[in-house]
Structures are given as structure tokens and as C-alpha cells.
Amino acid sequence: MLDQSEIVKCSDVERALAAKESDLTKTLYFSQSELTGLLTVANFQKDIDNGNANELHALMLEKQFLENEIRLLEEKNNGLKNSMLAFVEGIRSANTLQVDTQRGSRENEKLVKNIDNMKTSLPSSFDYSNRYVSGARSWTGQEVEGTCTLCF
């Protein structure tokens, strides 16, 4: 799960990227509008003065330049979108890994606690006063009497 600060960071990054995308889109529309205006002027000039080819040629070169700029802006916009998607996916992957790590850590802590509980409860399970152990021999070979609650 994402913690609150990571969610806020993601939201801030998304807002910043959305603002950048908006600016690029605005620039794209302004460029397209300017291009349309230039084309209108070029056609008007062509109709008025067919003999002034140099000016028309300059406008056509500028039109090509602006079309190229529009294409470059569109590529940058697409690149920005792809970067944003990859960034968000990276955050999701990192958060998934963090959640898995935390889950594993909690499970490990439970296992360690259970082992500790078993270690402390095992010696306390022996009660030497209830049952006799018959047939047990010491290291010297002599029979030893004792009791054990674990004997069945």
C-alpha cells in the first residue's frame, strides 16, 4: 500500500506533468494558429502578386519550418506522456515491493515470536513430580527414577 507521503508526491508529480502537458498543448495550438495565419497570408499574397515568388518562397519555407516545429512539439508531448506513465509505473512497482517486504517482515516477526514462545514454553512443560520414568539408566548404567509430564 502507498503511504500518505508517497501519494502526495505522486499527486504533485502528476500535477506538474499535467501543467507541462498543458503548456506544450497550448504552444502546439498557438503554432498551428500561426501556421494557418501564415498560410492565409501566403495565399493572399500569391493571389495579389504572382510575380513576387521570393516572398512566397520565404513564406513556404517558414510554413515548412513551423510544420516541423509542430511535429517536434507533438513528439515531445508524446515523450512526456510516456515518461510520466513509466514514472507512475515505477512508483507502483516500488510500492508493491515495499508492501511485499513489509508483509514478509511481519511474517518473519511472527515466526520469531512463535519460536521464542516455544523455546520458553518447552522447558516449563517438564514436570518431574507426576509420572515416573522406568527403565532409565544414568551414564554409569544404574537405574534412575524420575517423573516427566511428557511421558505417555
pLDDT tens, the chain, 152 aa long: 667 888 888 888 899 999 999 999 999 899 888 888 888 888 777 776 666 667 777 889 999 999 999 999 999 999 989 988 888 888 888 888 888 888 888 899 999 998 888 888 776 555 544 444 455 555 555 555 554 444 44
- Greatest pairwise CA separation for the chain in angstroms: 130
Q: How many CA atoms lie within 13 A of 50 on its CB side?
A: 1
Inside any domain, residue 10: yes
Q: Range of 80's domain?
A: 4-121
DSSP class of 144: E
What is the distance between the alpha carbons of residues 16 and 34, in angstroms, rounded to a whole number?
27
Q: Which SS3 state, helix, strand or coil, does residue 151 take?
A: coil
Residue 145 domain-assigned?
no
Q: How many domains does the chain have?
A: 1
Is position 52 within any domain?
Answer: yes
Residue 73 lies in a domain: yes
User: Is 45 inside any structural domain?
Assistant: yes
Which triple of cell numbers denotes residue 104? 514478509
Amino acid letter for position 61: L
Q: Is 143 a member of any domain?
A: no
